[in-house]
Amino acid sequence: MLLKGKTALISGASRGIGRAIAIRFAEHGAFVGINYNSSEKEAKKVLGTIEEKNGSGMLLKGDIASLEEVRNMVSNFVDRADHIDILVNNAGIYVRNYFKDLPLETWRRVLDVNLNGCYNLCKCSLPFIPNGGRIIFISSQLAFKGSAHGADYATSKAGMLGLMRSLALELAPRNILVNAVAPGTIDTDIVAHYTEEMRRKRESEIPLGRLGKPEEVANVCLFLASDLSSYITGETINVNGGLYIH
Ligand code: NAD
């Protein structure tokens, strides 16, 4: 029970990595806020799974790209949970596009969700994060490598790291630890567009020979959310099976 009595708000927790984080945190005693935008049915299932394991949490509907929706969502969470010990900026979107074909609206939407969504969540949550709290960002290996068909995505994930490092410095006097996780290729809906051939090719490129599991990212988030990481801030932990070592 690494998070007994803690409260955690997780964006985009209806499926994939966010779902795994919500379940892992709840298994360790946290009361979790499960944010979702449109997938209410999936979010309810996540809460159901948590409650079956005697954990607790609540659903939080809201588009993280909207400051107003995030403000409402945070207010609903705090009404019940009182404060936010742990904020996880997880929600994100990926749209495959070469830059030459990348429409401005797509660029803006990806930046609005992936990067400005972090601004909205941090801005609205910060007044409720006590000293000793945690902020975790789910970035990507593409923040370092770039992406031939995801300039918007890679830009948003690199920008997120600038925000993470800056908040780490600003919030260190309050012992609020701010870190990021940079996943490699994790087996979620975000890679659902892979053909069998693309999947095999990707697996052959990964030194550990397989895609990662959402739970393997959630375990690192658990470490960063817990007292075990008490002297780590401003850091990015890569969870990529050796695909990008730096
Ligand atoms: P996913 O598509 O399975 O889940 C994304 C989640 O974000 C969903 O719950 C979705 O409903 C939510 N979401 C999307 N837009 C939202 C919005 N505007 N407001 C609120 N919620 C919204 O993807 P995933 O693989 O679980 O990705 C989780 C995070 O991990 C993302 O930030 C993604 O960029 C990052 N990531 C994933 C991989 C991977 O290979 N799967 C690799 C690196 C980074």
For residue 1, tell me if it sits in a domain. no
In the reported structure, the alpha carbon of residue 15 is separated from the centroid of ligand 1 by a whole-number distance in angstroms of 8
Strand 177-183 to strand 134-138: parallel, antiparallel, or no bridges (unpaired)? parallel
Spell out the residues 6+ positions from residue 30 whose beta carbon is closer than 8 angstroms to its own: 3, 4, 6, 7, 8, 55, 85, 86, 225
pLDDT recorded at residue 34: 98
Q: Do 4 and 29 touch, CB atoms closer than 8 A?
A: yes
Is the predicted pLDDT of residue 192 greater than 90, yes or no? no
Q: Do 87 and 129 touch, CB atoms closer than 8 A?
A: yes
Q: What is the CATH number of the domain that holds 177?
A: 3.40.50.720
Spell out the residues 6+ positions from residue 191 whose beta carbon is closer than 8 angstroms to its own: 185, 199, 211
Spell out the residues 6+ positions from residue 187 whose beta carbon is closer than 8 angstroms to its own: 211, 212, 213, 214
pLDDT recorded at residue 172: 98
- Residue 181's pLDDT band (boundaries 50, 70, 90)? very high
For residue 20, tell me if it sits in a domain. yes
CA distance 74 to 117: 13
For residue 2, tell me if it sits in a domain. no
What confidence tens digit (pLDDT) does each residue in 110-119 have? Answer: 999 999 999 9
* Backbone phi, psi, residue 150, to 5°: -160, 55
Instruction: Identify the domain containing residue 63 by its residue range.
Output: 7-238
The pLDDT of 205-213, averaged and rounded, is: 97
For residue 25, tell me if it sits in a domain. yes
Q: Do 161 and 122 touch, CB atoms closer than 8 A?
A: no
Q: Do 215 and 24 touch, CB atoms closer than 8 A?
A: yes
CA distance 200 to 170: 43
Extract the tokens encoding 233: 């801030």
In the reported structure, the alpha carbon of residue 186 is separated from the centroid of ligand 1 by a whole-number distance in angstroms of 11
Nearest CA to ligand 1 atom 10: 12
Is the predicted pLDDT of residue 241 greater than 90, yes or no? yes
For residue 178, tell me if it sits in a domain. yes
In the reported structure, the alpha carbon of residue 78 is separated from the centroid of ligand 1 by a whole-number distance in angstroms of 24
For residue 203, tell me if it sits in a domain. yes
The pLDDT of 227-233, averaged and rounded, is: 98
Query: Ligand 1 pocket, 15 CB below 6 A?
Result: yes
CA distance 45 to 137: 24
Helices (runs of H) and strands (runs of E) counted in the chain: 9, 7
pLDDT recorded at residue 193: 84
In the reported structure, the alpha carbon of residue 91 is separated from the centroid of ligand 1 by a whole-number distance in angstroms of 4
pLDDT recorded at residue 140: 98
Please give the share of the chain, as a percent, with pLDDT higher than 70. Answer: 100
Beta-bridged to residue 146, according to DSSP, are none
Best mutation site among 38, 40, 90, 163 for ligand 1, i.e. most ligand atoms within 8 A of its Cβ? 90
Query: For the chain, what is the domain count?
Result: 1
Query: Ligand 1 pocket, 143 CB below 6 A?
Result: no
Give CA angle at 123 (118, 128), nearest 5°: 115
For residue 245, tell me if it sits in a domain. no
- Residue 89's pLDDT band (boundaries 50, 70, 90)? very high
Query: Ligand 1 pocket, 19 CB below 6 A?
Result: no
CA distance 132 to 112: 29
pLDDT recorded at residue 221: 99
Q: Do 90 and 18 touch, CB atoms closer than 8 A?
A: yes
In the reported structure, the alpha carbon of residue 173 is separated from the centroid of ligand 1 by a whole-number distance in angstroms of 31
In the reported structure, the alpha carbon of residue 49 is separated from the centroid of ligand 1 by a whole-number distance in angstroms of 19
Please give the share of the chain, as a percent, with pLDDT higher than 90. Answer: 97
- Residue 191's pLDDT band (boundaries 50, 70, 90)? confident
CA distance 64 to 112: 8
Mean of the per-residue pLDDT values for the chain?
97
What confidence tens digit (pLDDT) does each residue in 116-152 have? Answer: 999 999 999 999 999 999 999 999 999 999 999 999 9
Query: Ligand 1 pocket, 93 CB below 6 A?
Result: yes
pLDDT recorded at residue 117: 98
For residue 72, tell me if it sits in a domain. yes
Query: Ligand 1 pocket, 43 CB below 6 A?
Result: no
Query: Ligand 1 pocket, 129 CB below 6 A?
Result: no
Query: Ligand 1 pocket, 147 CB below 6 A?
Result: no
Amino acid letter, 28: H
What confidence tens digit (pLDDT) does each residue in 47-85 have? Answer: 999 999 999 999 999 999 999 999 999 999 999 999 999
Query: Ligand 1 pocket, 183 CB below 6 A?
Result: yes
Q: Alpha-carbon Rg of the chain, whole angstroms?
A: 17
Neighbours of 81 (CB within 10 A): 21
What confidence tens digit (pLDDT) does each residue in 149-161 have? Answer: 999 999 999 999 9
Catalytic residues: 153
Nearest CA to ligand 1 atom 9: 12
pLDDT recorded at residue 24: 98
